[in-house]
Amino acid sequence: MPIAPNFSSVYEHEWDINFTQCAPNGYLNYVNLCNLLQLTAAEHSILGGLSFNDMQKFDQAWVLSRIRVEIDALPKWQDKVVVKTWIESLQGANSVRNMEMHLDGKKIVGATTFWAVLNTKQRKAEALALDHSHFEKFPEWHATQKPSSRINFLRDTEIVSERKVALSDLDIVNHANNVKYLEWCLDTMDLKPILKMEMKSLEMNFLRELNLGDDVQVNVVPNERPEFFSIVKEGKVCFALEMSWK
């Protein structure tokens, strides 16, 4: 698609929080929080001519490699939130994109994401084929106190769940969507710290693709409020998650 007439390098999207996105306490759950962030990024890429359909002309797609989310508060059912996003850097096959969620004019969530360009036929990273010079980059404007980082996943863990990647886990790139990894981990946890909204930050590294029918293990360092999860396929870590608590 061509660049939209209303394209801007800083994009804002208003979202209504509906009941299907909320936890039993009536507040936006962490999985759908991350989903709204990635949906806002997708909307911005559509307006700027860097959408999935645009990139598929070159057999390319954006895939999320790392995300860090810092949470001050969560919106509740029927709240209207504004998610703001902009590109910090974009060079070669990699891009850093930032997001902020605002409620009643106040920032309540900040996130930084690291994306890679994937060749969807060869399933490997390559430089972006599309021109992106119309996107202004903001290297000094950060949404989080800390940047995203590589997680040390060489830890002693125990298996808490086993599952097979199902059709409902797949997205348009034909692999397990990034929010599914988080969902699988949180599904193994006790409800209490979740419903008390005690999570302060979460950081995720996506290391290997997971595809339909893959058998995986969800591993954790045991704790009442766990701080580390990994998802493993055939002995190799595909995903790592670090959480901090208030």
Model confidence pLDDT, tens digit, residues 5-25? 999 999 999 999 999 999 999
What does the radius of gyration of the chain's CA atoms come to, in whole angstroms? 18
* Residue in the structure block whose two tokens are 């004019």: 105
Domain positions in the chain are: 1-148, 150-246
Query: What pLDDT was estimated at residue 1?
Result: 65
Q: How many residues does the chain have?
A: 246
Which one, of 210, 140, 123, lies nearest residue 175 by Cα?
Answer: 210
CATH of the domain spanning 1-148 = 3.10.129.10
Which CATH code, of 2.160.10.10, 3.30.565.10, 3.10.129.10, 3.20.20.80, is assigned to 150-246? 3.10.129.10
Contact assessment for residue 13 and residue 43, using Cβ atoms and an 8 Å cutoff? yes
Question: With a threshold of 0.85, does the pTM exceed it?
Answer: yes
Helices 30-47 and 178-186 meet at what angle, rounded to 10?
170
Collapse the DSSP code of 75 into the 3-class scheme (helix H, G, I; strand E, B; otherwise coil) and give the result.
coil
Query: What pLDDT was estimated at residue 244?
Result: 96
